[in-house]
């Protein structure tokens, strides 16, 4: 959602955030961070990284285990296909879990899991390693080897991390599909990756209901997915499932066998660790590929410095493992840093709206990393829920997924952090793998700004020719150099990698976001410049929803736009032209909404489906969503010279 320059809350609030100060008001970090943070000498960090970015990254890389040291930190001879730590040999699993086995971290909780019904489980680093070893032996018994692909479709339970880690250990490339996606969405992703195995559960819990994930997977497998040889099912919900003889295997039976544990594969730094499909501007998702070496260094370093991780931290990132935030900052980042990470299967406002605060208090969470949509939802519930709990355990807060508006920022700062906790608003993407624009704990913050690029990263705001725009003006957010966790390519589609990110404005990485910088150099992210939606922080594309709608038998054409929403940030609205013989009705509108849900998944909720007789199009027949949006929101449609009618 675009951030207005002087966005002031319109309604009157009860809290002390009643009067918003100007956007230049600085929120200074508590004393402790200025004196005592990992990045307390932040000016020196920025200077060091600017003078010698490769040296800066190499220093942090040296804190992680390498079987063979790299020859070159950054090889840009084939740019924009960059190589990081080329010649180095390592494995992300060794950095995340194996290296802790020889230290005191072994007996510490890697994950504390809590289920929706309040059940808890604690898994130490030692137990995690043991389970991963057993599961990797099970995977080997199915003849899975380095380079093979495995799909994972699971709720937020410890076994999702076990599955990811066992793959990475063996050099198998995992592709996690968010459990809110439909059978068709699974099928698309499994077929593109040619996954041999899919790992799922008998079910999951959400707001008191049991969802049968295996059933969804079964639908995907019966519709296609010829590459799948087996599905592995974790027994979790004790939901009755039908097992297909020869194809379906129980996870608990697979790990109970006494099989030889495969060695951890020695991977080239540049070898792929995982694929994560994300929405682009077309109906076909992009398979973003991340490596072992560069990814591990980027994620480890950013989490350590930005969240100031300490051994005693209990860290809670409320994301789902099915998104990049879950990969980098629930699984790999916290594990590499040896902290305890809280994993929660439920939703933060169920069964009571203060569930999240009750959990922070009970688990003594020290770092909370969440999304603006959740903060706004909690603010809507009011302050009583937060005030009912002792949140003095918190020392640092984080935000991710969409721009955080100043009002939500201040609510988070005052009521959750009690003005003691700095807020790290981290701007990044599936493609960047790691934080890119974000503060460090000791820097002076502005409510709603993601601060400046992380040390070693050069970001700019430019016009469409690539020229920097002056402070105060909006433009395209670009990155001008490479960073360790940069995506390697798009799976089997290097051409799309080049076209999407590097050709529209030559010489830089095009993020797809709009931003402006203020006179102090602070970045204010304004939202996407392309047709990518952010609904409650979930990334979807207009084209994906449109293609789901036109697959309905009554529909001839559809145009989807994002509309600002006070809680979700953005919601989708669809304009639909029906085929002749079909008449508009509220029932049909509802049926189309259900159809979208079935085709993409429950996450693709489309708030409104309206029927129209015409859509604004270019002469070549492309629907001009920009014009639809301008009409809907009463904005200036911009250049309409290509509009046909």
Integer Cα distance of 428 and 327 in angstroms: 13
430 near ligand WTA (CB under 6 A): yes
- Which CB sits closer to ligand WTA, 604 or 609? 604
Pairing outcome for strands 197-201 and 149-153? parallel
Which residues ranging from 385 to 414 are in contact with ligand WTA (CB under 6 A)? Answer: 399-403
Which residue in the block uniquely carries the two structure tokens 């890119």? 436
Which residues are registered as beta bridge partners of 479? 459, 509
Which residue in the block uniquely carries the two structure tokens 């130490």? 124
Residue 313 and residue 108 in contact, taking contact as beta carbons nearer than 8 Å: no
323 near ligand WTA (CB under 6 A): yes
- Radius of gyration of the chain from Cα atoms? 24
Binding-site string for ligand WTA from residue 225 to residue 264, where x marks contact by CB under 6 A and - marks none = ----------------------------------------
Three-class DSSP category at 462:
strand
Integer Cα distance of 289 and 461 in angstroms: 26
Which residues are registered as beta bridge partners of 609? 574
Q: Which stretch binds ligand WTA (CB under 6 A): 107-115, 180-188, 215-223, 317-325?
A: 317-325
- Which CB sits closer to ligand WTA, 128 or 424? 424
Least separation, in Å, of the C-beta of 331 and ligand WTA? 14
542 near ligand WTA (CB under 6 A): no
Binding-site string for ligand WTA from residue 274 to residue 313, where x marks contact by CB under 6 A and - marks none = ----x-----------------------------------
Q: Phi and psi of 468, rounded to 5°? A: -60, 140
Among 91, 301, 340, 426, binds ligand WTA (CB under 6 A): 426
Closest to 475 (Cα-Cα) out of 503, 508, 516: 516
Q: Which residues lie closer than 8 Å to 462 by C-beta, 6 or more apart?
A: 468, 469, 475, 476, 478, 505, 508
- Which CB sits closer to ligand WTA, 97 or 374? 374
Among 57, 205, 413, 427, binds ligand WTA (CB under 6 A): 427
Least separation, in Å, of the C-beta of 364 and ligand WTA? 26
325 near ligand WTA (CB under 6 A): yes
Q: Phi and psi of 203, rounded to 5°? A: 175, 175
Least separation, in Å, of the C-beta of 534 and ligand WTA? 6
- Which CB sits closer to ligand WTA, 187 or 426? 426
Which tokens sit at 187? 């099928």
- Which CB sits closer to ligand WTA, 33 or 476? 476
Integer Cα distance of 347 and 209 in angstroms: 12
Least separation, in Å, of the C-beta of 121 and ligand WTA? 27
Among 227, 282, 429, 493, binds ligand WTA (CB under 6 A): 429
Among 70, 300, 428, 522, binds ligand WTA (CB under 6 A): 428
219 near ligand WTA (CB under 6 A): no
In angstroms, how far apart are the furthest CA atoms of the chain?
A: 72
Half-sphere exposure of 595 (CA within 13 A, CB side): 20
366 near ligand WTA (CB under 6 A): no
Which tokens sit at 292? 């072992």
Least separation, in Å, of the C-beta of 22 and ligand WTA? 20
Integer Cα distance of 454 and 471 in angstroms: 19
DSSP secondary structure letter of residue 452:
S
- Which CB sits closer to ligand WTA, 17 or 279? 279
- Which CB sits closer to ligand WTA, 56 or 501? 501
Pairing outcome for strands 286-291 and 120-124? unpaired
Q: Which residues lie closer than 8 Å to 429 by C-beta, 6 or more apart?
A: 324, 436, 511, 512
Beta strands across the sheet bearing 523-528: 459-462, 474-479, 509-517, 523-528
Among 450, 535, 576, 628, binds ligand WTA (CB under 6 A): 450
CA dist list (Å): 149 to 159, 229, 402, 491, 494: 18, 11, 30, 11, 18
Which residue in the block uniquely carries the two structure tokens 């995340």? 96
Binding-site string for ligand WTA from residue 505 to residue 534, where x marks contact by CB under 6 A and - marks none = ------xxx-----------x--x-----x
- Which CB sits closer to ligand WTA, 403 or 422? 403
- Which CB sits closer to ligand WTA, 335 or 434? 434
- Which CB sits closer to ligand WTA, 210 or 429? 429
Q: How many residues bind ligand WTA (CB under 6 A)?
A: 23
544 near ligand WTA (CB under 6 A): no
Three-class DSSP category at 47:
helix
The count of residues in the chain is 645
- Which CB sits closer to ligand WTA, 328 or 366? 328
List, in sequence order, every beta strand (DSSP E) within 254-393.
267-268, 272-278, 286-291, 314-317, 340-344, 367-370
- Which CB sits closer to ligand WTA, 75 or 402? 402
Integer Cα distance of 276 and 164 in angstroms: 12
Least separation, in Å, of the C-beta of 586 and ligand WTA? 33
Q: Which stretch binds ligand WTA (CB under 6 A): 33-41, 421-429, 468-476, 571-579?
A: 421-429
Nearest-CB residue for ligand WTA: 430
Q: Which stretch binds ligand WTA (CB under 6 A): 102-110, 358-366, 419-427, 456-464?
A: 419-427
- Which CB sits closer to ligand WTA, 203 or 448? 448
Half-sphere exposure of 270 (CA within 13 A, CB side): 15
Three-class DSSP category at 40:
coil
Which residue in the block uniquely carries the two structure tokens 């880690």? 165
Least separation, in Å, of the C-beta of 150 and ligand WTA? 22
Integer Cα distance of 409 and 625 in angstroms: 30
Least separation, in Å, of the C-beta of 468 and ligand WTA? 20
Least separation, in Å, of the C-beta of 400 and ligand WTA? 5
Note the residues at the interface with ligand WTA (CB under 6 A): 278, 323-325, 399-403, 425-430, 450, 511-513, 525, 528, 534, 539
């Amino acid at each position: 959602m675009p951030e207005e320059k002087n966005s002031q809350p319109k309604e009157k609030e009860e809290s002390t955030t009643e009067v918003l100060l100007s956007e230049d008001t600085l929120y200074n970090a508590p004393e402790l961070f200025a004196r005592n943070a990992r990045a307390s000498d932040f000016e020196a960090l920025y200077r060091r990284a600017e003078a010698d970015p490769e040296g800066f990254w190499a220093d942090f890389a040296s804190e992680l285990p390498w079987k063979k040291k790299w020859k070159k930190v950054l090889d840009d001879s084939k740019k924009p296909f960059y190589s990081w730590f080329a010649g180095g040999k390592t494995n992300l699993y060794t950095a995340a879990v194996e290296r802790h086995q020889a230290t005191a971290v072994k007996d510490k909780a890697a994950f504390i899991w809590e289920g929706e019904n309040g059940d808890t489980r604690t898994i130490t680093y030692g137990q995690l390693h043991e389970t991963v070893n057993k599961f990797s032996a099970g995977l080997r018994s199915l003849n899975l080897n380095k380079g093979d692909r495995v799909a994972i479709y699971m709720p937020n339970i410890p076994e999702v991390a076990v599955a990811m880690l066992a793959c990475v250990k063996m050099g198998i490339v995992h592709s996690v599909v968010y459990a809110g996606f439909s059978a068709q969405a699974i099928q698309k992703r499994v077929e593109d990756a040619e996954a041999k195995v899919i790992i799922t559960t008998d079910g999951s819990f959400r707001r008191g209901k049991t969802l049968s994930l295996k059933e969804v997977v079964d639908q995907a497998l019966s519709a296609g997915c010829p590459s799948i040889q087996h599905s592995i099912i974790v027994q979790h919900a004790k939901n009755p499932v039908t097992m297909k003889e020869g194809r379906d295997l129980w996870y608990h039976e697979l790990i109970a066998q006494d099989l030889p544990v495969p060695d951890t594969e020695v991977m080239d730094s540049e070898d792929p660790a995982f694929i994560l499909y994300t929405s682009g501007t077309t109906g076909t998702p992009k398979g973003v590929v991340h490596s072992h070496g560069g990814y591990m260094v980027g994620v480890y370093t950013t989490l350590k410095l930005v969240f100031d991780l300490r051994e005693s931290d209990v860290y809670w990132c409320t994301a789902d493992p099915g998104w990049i935030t879950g990969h980098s900052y629930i699984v790999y980042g916290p594990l590499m840093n040896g902290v305890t990470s809280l994993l929660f299967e439920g939703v933060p406002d169920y069964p009571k709206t203060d569930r999240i605060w009750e959990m922070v208090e009970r688990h003594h969470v020290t770092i909370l990393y969440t999304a603006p949509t959740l903060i706004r939802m909690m603010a809507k519930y009011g302050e009583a829920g937060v005030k009912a709990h002792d949140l003095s355990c918190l020392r640092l807060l984080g935000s991710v997924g969409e721009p955080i508006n100043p009002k939500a920022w201040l609510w988070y700062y005052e009521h959750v952090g009690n003005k003691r906790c700095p807020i790290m608003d981290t701007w990044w993407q599936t493609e960047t793998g790691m934080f890119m624009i974000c503060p460090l704990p000791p820097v002076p913050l502005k409510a709603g700004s993601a601060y400046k690029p992380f040390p070693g990263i050069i970001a700019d705001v430019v016009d469409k020719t690539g020229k920097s725009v002056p402070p105060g003006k909006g433009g395209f957010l670009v990155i001008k150099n490479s960073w360790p966790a940069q995506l390697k390519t798009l799976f089997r589609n290097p051409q799309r990698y080049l076209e999407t990110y590097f050709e529209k404005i030559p010489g830089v990485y095009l993020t797809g976001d709009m931003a402006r910088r203020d006179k102090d150099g602070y970045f204010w992210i304004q939202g996407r410049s392309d047709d990518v939606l952010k609904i409650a922080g979930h990334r979807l594309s207009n084209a994906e929803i449109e293609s789901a709608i036109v697959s309905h038998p009554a529909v001839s054409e559809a145009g989807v736009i994002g509309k600002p929403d006070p809680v979700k940030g953005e919601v989708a609205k669809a304009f639909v032209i029906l085929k002749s013989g079909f008449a508009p009705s509220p029932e049909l509108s509802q049926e189309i909404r259900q159809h979208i849900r079935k085709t993409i998944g429950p996450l693709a909720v489309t708030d409104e489906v309206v029927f129209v007789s015409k859509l604004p199009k270019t002469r070549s027949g492309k629907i001009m969503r920009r014009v639809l949006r301008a009409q809907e929101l009463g904005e200036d449609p911009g250049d309409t010279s290509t509009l046909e009618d």
